[in-house]
Amino acid sequence: MTRGSLTAVVMFTMSVVATTATDAAPANCTVFEDQVSLLNCGVILTATATRRLRVEADCDHNVHVEIQDVPPGLYSVLVDGVERGTIRVKAKHDEGQLEFDTSPKGAQLSLDFDPFGHIDVAAGGRVILGLDQCPAQ
């Protein structure tokens, strides 16, 4: 092999390796986790809730909503006013939770909304818990 063709083979190989490495490189997101308590809107005085938002290094987003100290029943989780799921609480003063993920597994629901949006938890058409404010009722 001549020196000119050896250089061409080396350059071609380096180009293929660089392209392959670039294509296979994982996404680079800043890892982030934020957990906040939701405000009690006065409908069920004992009700409490948290919203946890997590961003993973691979850019996967996860939102977890948990409610506690509420009567048994169904509770709607609304994001920016749109119902995204229902939490079922089975026993008095029990807890319930709902989890959304951009790559859902098991019981997780698909996270197909703005994970930073406003979250409310409602029962019987009334907001009982809100992320940063309660509506006038």
pLDDT tens readout for residues 73-132: 999 999 999 999 999 999 876 789 999 999 999 999 999 999 999 999 999 999 999 998
pLDDT-based confidence at residue 135 (cuts at 50, 70, 90):
confident
Q: In this predicted structure, what is the pLDDT of residue 26? A: 56
Q: In this predicted structure, what is the pLDDT of residue 91? A: 85
Residue 122 near residue 93, CB atoms below 8 Å: no
pLDDT tens readout for residues 14-66: 333 333 333 444 568 889 999 999 999 999 999 999 999 999 999 999 999 99
pLDDT-based confidence at residue 6 (cuts at 50, 70, 90):
very low
CATH classification (class only), 32-130: mainly beta
The CA-CA-CA angle for residues 45, 48, 54, to 5°, reads 160
Q: In this predicted structure, what is the pLDDT of residue 19? A: 35
pTM value surpassing 0.85: no
Question: Who wins on pLDDT, 135 or 61?
Answer: 61
Residue 28 near residue 3, CB atoms below 8 Å: no
Please tell me the distance from the alpha carbon of residue 36 to that of residue 112, in angstroms, as a whole number: 21
Q: Rg of the chain's alpha carbons, rounded to an integer?
A: 24
Q: In this predicted structure, what is the pLDDT of residue 74? A: 96
